[in-house]
Structure 1
């Protein structure tokens, strides 16, 4: 991840950039990219527009940085799931992690990344590239983990690792949308149980 840009020597910012970025992440997470203005962001971050531009660049760059923070924080379940010993447990941990992240107490419902993709046609190139890279990296990691499962005999030889990765990501996106529409954790976990059961039977 990029290091935080530093203010010119002798001109301290007077605010915590990490805290400001955390607040921006929450605003984007709750309202999406198009749903917030620079005024909304600066008010939530407790800084001026001048400070925002100096520390983070423009709104698009701030969104990209917020997405990185989200990937390393609330969405880090996707990386932890890959450490599970079997493909079935990977799938279950991945989807359960999506439920937990999308229904986390004190946080907006849903997924910041999904919110971003809903507005991708209105994003600049940098933000689009960040979203696409995040999605592609997730799929690549899942695909690699399932290929390992095939190689080790944990999945049948005819299983398609890329299709399995795509299935899980589609389910996780659906979970996030349902959460944003008001579905609770218990309801969504039942969907996970059903999805994992069907996913396993299909193998």
Structure 2
């Protein structure tokens, strides 16, 4: 997981994987079948460990604003953890792939869409609970907060500090009232 997280799917060779795991090629194929299957297992491990706090944070908070803020701050904390490679495996693990890796890219895209759907669902809950106006553009808000989330991963990978990333979250949340009060546009 850490190898894929730090370098991405296409930058890792089977030799790299064998060396990292300390096993023979035959053992690698017997255990995982292929590099792609190993990557998918690494992604699932990431989702259950390092990536869990970000999506779990959406279920916290008394309001949609609190939940979105918690999600972004959890992402900052996860991306900036001292022992992590920085960034997010789900966002940066397979961004520019050759045709041969298209299924890997599509797998991560599907997971990112699930995260985006979770943001949208939390905003809808906010509308139901009354803390997000029914006139708010949930599509635009969802796209905005997904973009901030992805941008935090990229900034982290590029070396942005915990302090800088936290300031980005603070700025992203500063205009909450103004953003949710904007009427939905066609």
Normalising by structure 1, report the TM-score: 0.82
Distance apart, 1:199 and its partner CA:
3.2
Question: Does the CA-based 8 Å contact 2:58-2:67 persist in structure 1?
Answer: yes
Q: Which residue does 2:151 correspond to in 1?
A: 174
Alpha-carbon distance between aligned partners in 2 of 1:126 and 1:75, rounded to the nearest angstrom:
21
For structure 1, list consecutive stretches of 5 or more residues without a partner in the other structure. 1-24
Q: Which residue does 2:12 correspond to in 1?
A: 36
SS in 2 for 1:118: coil
Structure 1 residues 170 and 40, CA gap change in structure 2 (3 angstroms): same
**Superposition pairs of residues 1-203 of structure 1, within 5 angstroms:** 25-83=1-59, 84-122=61-99, 124-203=101-180
Alpha-carbon distance between aligned partners in 2 of 1:117 and 1:166, rounded to the nearest angstrom:
20
Q: Deviations 1:127-166 (Å, cap 9, x if unpaired)?
A: 2332122111111111111111112211011112232222
Structure 1 residues 92 and 154, CA gap change in structure 2 (3 angstroms): same
Structure 1 residues 199 and 50, CA gap change in structure 2 (3 angstroms): farther
Q: Which residue does 1:16 correspond to in 2?
A: none
Distance apart, 1:87 and its partner CA:
0.8
Alpha-carbon distance between aligned partners in 2 of 1:96 and 1:123, rounded to the nearest angstrom:
35
For structure 2, list consecutive stretches of 5 or more residues without a partner in the other structure. 181-186
Structure 1 residues 85 and 121, CA gap change in structure 2 (3 angstroms): farther
Alpha-carbon distance between aligned partners in 2 of 1:123 and 1:77, rounded to the nearest angstrom:
32
Question: Does the CA-based 8 Å contact 2:4-2:12 persist in structure 1?
Answer: yes
Q: What root-mean-square deviation, in Å, do the aligned CA atoms of Structure 1 and Structure 2 show?
A: 1.6
